[in-house]
Amino acid sequence: MLIYSNGLILWITTSLSTENVDIFLSFVLLISTVIWGHLEHYGWITI
């Protein structure tokens, strides 16, 4: 998990430094969707 987090931080930093805003935003949207799915799955939130 720590390795994944470091890779994620590195990826975000690289994206910001190269100004790939569209790719960065789409990636954030993907992660948000995954997190939301996990929260919903475990019943922490309901729609």
Q: What are the extents of the domains in the chain?
A: 2-41
Q: What is the reported pLDDT for 39? A: 78
Instruction: Report the C-alpha gap between 30 and 32 in whole angstroms.
Output: 5
d(CA 45, CA 36): 8
pLDDT at position 44, please? 66
The pTM of this model reads 0.42
Give tens-digit pLDDT for 1-47: 456 667 777 777 776 666 667 777 778 888 888 888 877 777 665 55
Helix (H, G, I), strand (E, B) or coil at 12: helix
The pLDDT of residue 26:
79
